[in-house]
Structure 1
Amino acid sequence: MKTIREIYSMNPSWKFHDGDITHHNIDTVHKQFIHPEWLKSGNNGLAYASYNDSQWSSVNLPHDFVIERGVYDSTTLSCTGSLKKGICWYRKTFDIPSTDNGKRLFLQFDGIFRDCEVWLNGCLIGRHLGGYMGFEFEITEAVAYGMSNTVAIKVDANEYEGWWYEGGGIYRDVRLLKTSQLRIVDKEIFVKTQSLDLENKQASLLISGLINNGSLDDDSFQLDIHIFNSKGKEVFHQLTNKNFKKYTSSDFTLEVILNEIDLWDLNSRNMYTVKISVKSTNGYDEYSTEFGIRKIKYSSEKGFELNDQTVKIKGVCGHDDFAGLGVALTKPIIEFKIKKLMEMGCNAYRCSHNPPNPIFLELCDKLGMLVFNETRMPGVDQDSMEDYINLIKRDRNHPCVISWSMGNEEMAIHRTEIGVQIFQKMMAIGKLYDDTRPYLYAINADYDNIIDYDRSKNFVLNPVGVNYFVHHDDDVFASMHKKYPDLCIVNTETTGICTSREYVLPYDDANLMAATTEKITVWTKPEFKNKVTCYGSCYPVWAMSPETSWKVHAERNYSAGLFLWTGFDYRGEVFPFDYPATISFFGLIDLCGFEKDWFYYMKSQWTDEDVLHLLPHWNMNLPEKSKVNVWTFTNCEEVELFVNGKSKGRKKCEKYGHVEWDVLYEKGTLEAVGFREGIEILRDKKITSKNPEKLILTGNRTFLLADNTDAIIVTAHLEDSEGNIVITSDESIEFEFTGPCEFIGTGNGNNLSSEHDKHPSRKLFAGKCIAIVKSTYTAGTINICGKWKNITSTLQLNSEETNYLPFVPSVSASEIATKEKTSADGGF
């Protein structure tokens, strides 16, 4: 009887302890030592089912303990969000049936921040350094079959890897994998497109992989490979036989020709599935993975091409962070973020500056988002190289990935012999595992001189990734092109302006400026010095407006495109301020997913939709007749502005530009009318609201799936009697939830806020706040209630039954997986 591969979610029902635990000698040999796990195998008392964790809190994964703790500290680096980090422990006790004896078992972790130790039934299973790359440990021999088993995980998040908020804990998914003694090694499966004939719709593929024999016996096996197209039709099938030794692995390769292929591109995200099964006298395993067939090319003549069609990269950079959740993002939140970027016209994402959640790439394949995939840090040490190789192996079947990035702004090693040696080795090793995509790293500062140096050392990157430019010389790209006509340039990071959804922050005259940033800050509007505004009138000396950046790249063929810093706000890097600022100002979208004004500039340039957006809002805390600078972002040819029905002039919008007027503030209606070829296209207006009278709740979903993961983002705002949003309201909204759901966080996007993200109440900021609610495994009616003063508003939706990944429940220890201790070697 063949053993079918089984995979279970380990996310539900963990016990959590915030802080380190000194004594691990509970019910262990050598109790006189507080850490006896290093003296005898199987000797960590925290990983015994008998350990009393009744005082620990209960949590579900993914889990960011730093955001859940929510302790802000002015002594913690403000660039990391000013949230205290630390050490914590997780435990889960679960049953493994006796029928699993003879199978192989693995724990798979998509990401733990940061350094961790994993223990099972007292035994060390493995350790992992670094917080961004997933890993797995085999636990087969440490399992007590037919009994309760306990996994205990120590997480030390004290060390930083980045200069932004990184969170802490088991912040990505965890799974239990069960296979036979014969196992297909997931990450080793690679479907490589060797050649592609677009005209004749034919592709030559090379399928490679690795089969691992965990048996004590030599064996032979039969390999069965099927390929299915995006419609589920089988388009290839082949059987083959191989031999291998006990406890060894056997690799395989297979050349395949496919005809009448369906290409993956941004509009038609056709995905194929390769299904591989292997069987022998010792077992059976089956594994499927998706892949896409597409052609990519970079050149100085056409920039970036996808399937022989030039596609200008309209990209953003981003960190894994969101209101209410910290870094513990789940699939519905990741999907929400990608779709919001696509609404702006974004078609590419640079994973800054670390490997992404695997779910992110699955969604980018599905939705049509190009990806620059980046390792955390360059290096040839064992840990760095292992993560780098595993990143390539894990993600190389994703058609959305169009480049590997080996690092970011490596100032200590670029333009040095050491740097060239490190990057040359990384690129050479990377190409052993994937030579179908280019390798680059994001160079900053005087990158023209760095490229000169690299090429003088015979280290040629093409395309080349460049970040910003301190000297603000737009002609540097033309100069580089003239010197190196073959060079294709990607502006891997640019803009970096600071903006707010509010007109101006802070509201009062408080000076929050960080002493370290005063000399590197540019103020384009002197009246707003020491403030952040909706205009983007503040930025670091190396940055520039999105308008300036886009003009440079829009029509230059040798530019593949650009990545704006950043798509979304994120915690940390609170330039130009210091604590109590906690959230960056760099995003085109805030931490809750609310659009800032520059979102609409990019939408006007990056989409074919008619766009007309007016700023600022018109609920100013200003005396009447104060001068206000009014802007519109638009792709209309002309715009006419009205204040309370009186025209303030009709102006032409220059290509890649925006339109401005200086007007005197009058409460009422600010309205813009857009024209093309003299015909009115659309209008936008801002209205001075009256006092708030109504609480409105809206959701980004109309139903949820009962899979314990699906989520809704509920937005709350106040309106006056005429239905106008009260944009300046900062009232507190209380949330309550009933039905099969779990409240998981709140937010409002206020960059200066230190409110707790896990409390079911939130102040409005710029008139809005959100609450996030997820489903459970139970279907039913969910009621989300918002309360403001004596007014209540309720949003109701259903959670519907669905298929979901089976999960491993937590249990109380039924049979303790320990044995009586003896006094051997003095262990008493």
Structure 2
Amino acid sequence: MHLPKRFLPFVAAGFIALAGANAAEAPIRERIAFNADWRFTKADAGPAPAAGAATPAAQPGFDDAAWRKLALPHDWGIEGPFRQEYPNDTGKLPWWGVAWYRKHFTLPAADAGRRIYLDIDGAMSNAQVWINGRHVGGWPYGYASWRVDLTAHVKPGGANVVAVRLDNPPASSRWYPGGGMYRNVWLVKTAPVHVAQYGTFVTTPVVTQASATVNIDVTVDNRGAATEVQAATEIYALDAAGKRSGQPVARKEPAAPAKAPAGAQVQLSQALAVANPRLWSTASPQRYVAVTTITDKGRLVDVVETPFGIRTIAFDAARGFLLNGSRLTINGVCQHHDLGALGAAINTRALERQLEILREMGVNAIRTSHNPPAPELLELTDRMGFVVVAEAFDTWGIGKTPNDYHLHFDKWHEKDLRAMIRRDRNHPSVIAWSIGNEIVEQGHPEGWKVAARLSEIARGEDRTRPTTAAYNHVGSGYNGFQGAVDVFGYNYKPHEYRNFHEHAPHIPLLGSETASTVSSRGEYFFPVGDDQSKGLANFQVSSYDLSAPPWASPPDKEFRGQDDNPFVAGEFVWTGFDYLGEPTPYNNDATNLLNFTDPAQRQRMAKELESLKKISVPSRSSYFGIVDLAGFRKDRFYLYQARWRPELPMAHLLPHWNWPERAGQVTPVHLYTSGDEAELFLNGKSLGRKQRGPHEYRLRWDDVVYQPGTLRAVSYRNGKPWAEDTVRTTGAAAKLLLSADRQALRADGDDLSFVTVTIADRDGLPVPRTANRVTFSLTGPGEIVATDNGDPTSFESFQSPRRNAFNGLALAIVRPRPGQAGKMVLTATAEGLGSAQVALESKAP
């Protein structure tokens, strides 16, 4: 059955409707953003209810007029205040507690007879939902996406109230989790017969240059009377913006009607052929969309669109990871879910900016540590061309903190794992399902059986991708865990790659978490040495990139481990960006003891942790990031760029060259370059030409004696000039420079501009080691939503319009007001440095 044009679906205002003659009728399916006009209180409005019990704040007549008005997504924890007495491993922010959200809304009378659902992409945590005073469900896992059915208790044509109670317990996370309805919420309306939530699954079992077989499995949910249903599908190519281009490239007419009993689900399957397919890859992320129509006894009742990609993936024990038949070395990073100064509240532009910065470094892969990601991340990785290992859990049945996920594992692990896979299995960027991270069960004789069970669940939902896990115990490679997953992941074990491969030559191997080097942007401590436990001072870490916790290492050791063992598929560095919480090495988290199996190491680490508990640790965020919390590149960025983008002519010198107190003292100089040799000059005098030898990933001049002036490096490749870098002793701070990552914005209330302020001398050179206090102000239809500087020890509110620069840099984040187009001007001022401005403009979306 080929539908006439008047039945072809189109996307408008966030929902699928019918065009032409049916325009006046109710849309077939609506998916409406449900984020506006919520009321919120960070307090328990009544006693903790038993599941399904009546509670005052859930009742439609409850007076919430005094509650705060806000829009979702919302993270209450990021609003602070910072407190020294709060746990620094979770950011010293108040993310725990009980809170309520309520929303008043009216449904059109025309919605009578339709199914009404509330889809919540994520709520932190232990959510319970009521509609008009009736309990309709909930979900404990704060990272899960889930749905509740409002149909039985909602009032079409009348007023309705949805109430959500969250209970985020303390001691339930090892990092900053955020608190609140921190991901998007949707109101979904369908006919009684409709495609179920996550009810389409697209696979491409056969792919050649000439043709690709596209299989589509559709789950139809019948919430009406017994009937017969059919499905038809058209496939379109998508352009770079995600819009359909041209005519359908494939079409499948419906098969014979299938019986759909009342209150049951029915599975429909179709196979289509796409000629000359455009393959999805990291270099060219080509995508398609399957438009599936469902008819009920010939009457159109639902239309769904499923974006997907055509590609082949495989992990090979000898060749690593293969994308479309060719090896793709995984140059990956691990990412926590917070967005720095914005907290855990999801923002697509902030995620996109992170990915843009990581791509500049050469990143092609993301591991979602240690939980299911926001849907928007995978939409971006599909579009931008990153591969993803999606991770489900940080704990199984044995906890790492008193109130973490282990309390829910027995009852909820299967629901949570299936929900993640069903939601995300159409994303071409997802290449593996990780069932756990550094789980405590590694040391238990029967622990591998849990891994095997989780892998079995994952394969039951999706056999097109392998399972994996991140193991931090050497023994997990030999005690049964290695056979419970399809791809074995080692955390911090480059020295073990060869042994594992010789023991299990048939199992693909991945560096699932690597390096964990720590550094603070722009901080350098002397003397400089290769003892990775050194380089710490003033609750900062030296940026010579030689410091790491006992279980970890500088990047160079991991590079060597992979170069010596090319069968390893690649690595996921801990981490791409700094994140809130876990300020190793300045934390006092006893869970770090889990990283040590040797009793002597555990005993030594326990003593160190005990000593840290006796002092107040002024650290809010991690030091692991290759990029700091504000999005400013650390020196390590260029070490990875040199390795991961070898064809890019680049050179990066460190440290800066403003050291008046070090005149006449040895001040080592390092160079990160994609060249193979380089010559260093100080004030025009050569300090020697060095060639990079085997297993050397940086060039070092360790005996440079400081004198002010100009430090210049010229790198070579195959004997020819390749790239240069220069650092100079600057003048005193004299002015501010402003630079916006984007000046044209959408007036949709979500778009952002990230504006960097640089402290500069009169010649415009950045002045390191400056900490001038900067005040931001904005005119026009927008607001400054956050500021930061990347300093892990800064406890100024992220919402403050004032911020000290940290080593010469600070950041302001500007958001246009929804629906208000116009020009905006951001001004930065600092005493003695005058002011600087940058013009922005918001336009109607």
TM bin (shorter chain): 0.7 to 0.9
Report what 1:800 is aligned to. 843
Report what 1:450 is aligned to. 476
Alpha-carbon separation, structure 1, partners of 2:665 and 2:346: 44
Report what 1:364 is aligned to. 381
8 Å contact from structure 1 (residues 228, 236) kept in 2: no
Verify: 1:494 aligned to 2:494, yes or no: no
Match of residue 742, structure 1, among 780, 783, 786:
783
Give runs of aligned pairs for residues 365-384 of structure 1, distance below 5 A: 365-376=382-393, 377-378=395-396, 381-384=410-413
How much has 1:121 moved relative to structure 2? 1.7
Amino acid at match of 1:227: I
How much has 1:524 moved relative to structure 2? 5.5
Alpha-carbon separation, structure 2, partners of 1:742 and 1:360: 25
| Alpha carbons of structure 1 residues 143 and 733: separation in structure 2 relative to 1, 3 Å | same
8 Å contact from structure 2 (residues 52, 136) kept in 1: no
8 Å contact from structure 1 (residues 466, 491) kept in 2: yes
Percent of residue pairs bearing the same amino acid type: 32
Alpha-carbon separation, structure 2, partners of 1:523 and 1:490: 24
Amino acid at match of 2:560: K
Report what 1:324 is aligned to. 341
Give runs of aligned pairs for residues 43-54 of structure 1, distance below 5 A: 43-54=54-65
Report what 2:43 is aligned to. 19
Amino acid at match of 1:428: E
Report what 2:314 is aligned to. 297
Give runs of aligned pairs for residues 765-780 of structure 1, distance below 5 A: 765-775=806-816, 776-780=818-822
Report what 2:210 is aligned to. 201
Q: Point out the more displaced range, 153-162 or 492-501.
A: 153-162
Q: Show CA shifts across 1:710-767 (max 9, x none).
A: 1111111221111111222211211122322233211111011111111222111111
Residue segments in structure 2 that go unaligned for 5+ positions in a row: 1-24, 239-244, 398-408, 588-616
Report what 2:500 is aligned to. 480
Report what 2:771 is aligned to. 730
8 Å contact from structure 1 (residues 300, 557) kept in 2: no
Superposition TM-score, scaled by structure 1 size: 0.88
Q: Point out the more displaced range, 46-55 or 774-783.
A: 46-55
8 Å contact from structure 1 (residues 690, 721) kept in 2: yes
How much has 1:179 moved relative to structure 2? 1.2
Match of residue 637, structure 2, among 599, 622, 634:
599
| Alpha carbons of structure 1 residues 594 and 223: separation in structure 2 relative to 1, 3 Å | same
Alpha-carbon separation, structure 1, partners of 2:546 and 2:724: 26
Give runs of aligned pairs for residues 203-242 of structure 1, distance below 5 A: 203-215=212-224, 217-230=225-238, 231-234=245-248, 235-240=250-255, 241-242=257-258
Report what 1:29 is aligned to. none
Match of residue 157, structure 1, among 168, 192, 203:
168
Q: Show CA shifts across 1:129-169 (max 9, x none).
A: 01101111111222122222222211112245531111111
How much has 1:609 moved relative to structure 2? 0.6
8 Å contact from structure 1 (residues 604, 633) kept in 2: yes
Amino acid at match of 1:503: E
Report what 2:29 is aligned to. 5
Match of residue 575, structure 1, among 565, 584, 593:
584
Q: Secondary structure at the match of 1:553?
A: helix
Report what 1:818 is aligned to. none
Q: Secondary structure at the match of 1:727?
A: coil
8 Å contact from structure 1 (residues 744, 774) kept in 2: yes
8 Å contact from structure 2 (residues 213, 272) kept in 1: yes
Report what 1:422 is aligned to. 450
How much has 1:3 moved relative to structure 2? 3.9
Q: Secondary structure at the match of 2:198?
A: helix
Alpha-carbon separation, structure 2, partners of 1:486 and 1:537: 35
How much has 1:300 moved relative to structure 2? 2.4
Report what 1:782 is aligned to. 824
Report what 1:116 is aligned to. 127
Report what 1:465 is aligned to. 489
Give runs of aligned pairs for residues 594-673 of structure 1, distance below 5 A: 594-607=632-645, 608-620=647-659, 622-655=661-694, 656-661=696-701, 662-673=703-714
8 Å contact from structure 1 (residues 707, 777) kept in 2: yes
Match of residue 437, structure 2, among 401, 404, 408:
408
Report what 2:22 is aligned to. none
8 Å contact from structure 2 (residues 33, 187) kept in 1: yes
Q: Point out the more displaced range, 120-129 or 785-794.
A: 785-794
Alpha-carbon separation, structure 1, partners of 2:417 and 2:275: 34
Alpha-carbon separation, structure 2, partners of 1:91 and 1:530: 42
Report what 1:515 is aligned to. none
Alpha-carbon separation, structure 1, partners of 2:677 and 2:708: 25
How much has 1:695 moved relative to structure 2? 1.5
Alpha-carbon separation, structure 2, partners of 1:635 and 1:3: 56
Q: Secondary structure at the match of 2:78?
A: helix
| Alpha carbons of structure 1 residues 268 and 526: separation in structure 2 relative to 1, 3 Å | closer
Give runs of aligned pairs for residues 133-282 of structure 1, distance below 5 A: 133-196=144-207, 198=208, 200-215=209-224, 217-230=225-238, 231-234=245-248, 235-240=250-255, 241-280=257-296
How much has 1:101 moved relative to structure 2? 1.7
Q: Secondary structure at the match of 2:152?
A: helix
Report what 1:27 is aligned to. none
Report what 1:819 is aligned to. none
8 Å contact from structure 1 (residues 88, 169) kept in 2: yes
Number of residue pairs the alignment of both structures matches: 762
Q: Secondary structure at the match of 2:181?
A: coil
How much has 1:264 moved relative to structure 2? 0.8
| Alpha carbons of structure 1 residues 99 and 530: separation in structure 2 relative to 1, 3 Å | closer
How much has 1:528 moved relative to structure 2? 6.4
How much has 1:642 moved relative to structure 2? 2.2
How much has 1:113 moved relative to structure 2? 0.9
Report what 2:628 is aligned to. 590
Q: Secondary structure at the match of 2:454?
A: helix
How much has 1:329 moved relative to structure 2? 2.8
Residue segments in structure 1 that go unaligned for 5+ positions in a row: 24-33, 508-520, 803-828
Verify: 1:676 aligned to 2:717, yes or no: yes
Alpha-carbon separation, structure 2, partners of 1:706 and 1:528: 44
How much has 1:418 moved relative to structure 2? 2.9
Amino acid at match of 1:453: N
How much has 1:466 moved relative to structure 2? 0.8
8 Å contact from structure 1 (residues 321, 591) kept in 2: no
8 Å contact from structure 2 (residues 650, 724) kept in 1: no
8 Å contact from structure 2 (residues 449, 484) kept in 1: no
How much has 1:395 moved relative to structure 2? 0.8
Match of residue 802, structure 2, among 734, 758, 761:
761
Verify: 1:336 aligned to 2:375, yes or no: no
8 Å contact from structure 1 (residues 70, 757) kept in 2: no
8 Å contact from structure 2 (residues 782, 815) kept in 1: yes
| Alpha carbons of structure 1 residues 743 and 10: separation in structure 2 relative to 1, 3 Å | farther
Q: Show CA shifts across 1:361-388 (max 9, x none).
A: 1111111101011102446723111010
Amino acid at match of 1:793: A
Verify: 1:130 aligned to 2:141, yes or no: yes
8 Å contact from structure 2 (residues 112, 156) kept in 1: yes
Alpha-carbon separation, structure 1, partners of 2:669 and 2:623: 21
Q: Show CA shifts across 1:483-521 (max 9, x none).
A: 32223210101101111112248x9xxxxxxxxxxxxx9
Q: Secondary structure at the match of 1:664?
A: coil
Q: Point out the more displaced range, 267-276 or 685-694.
A: 685-694
Q: Point out the more displaced range, 345-354 or 790-799.
A: 790-799
How much has 1:82 moved relative to structure 2? 2.0
8 Å contact from structure 1 (residues 668, 687) kept in 2: yes
Amino acid at match of 2:573: L
8 Å contact from structure 2 (residues 771, 804) kept in 1: yes
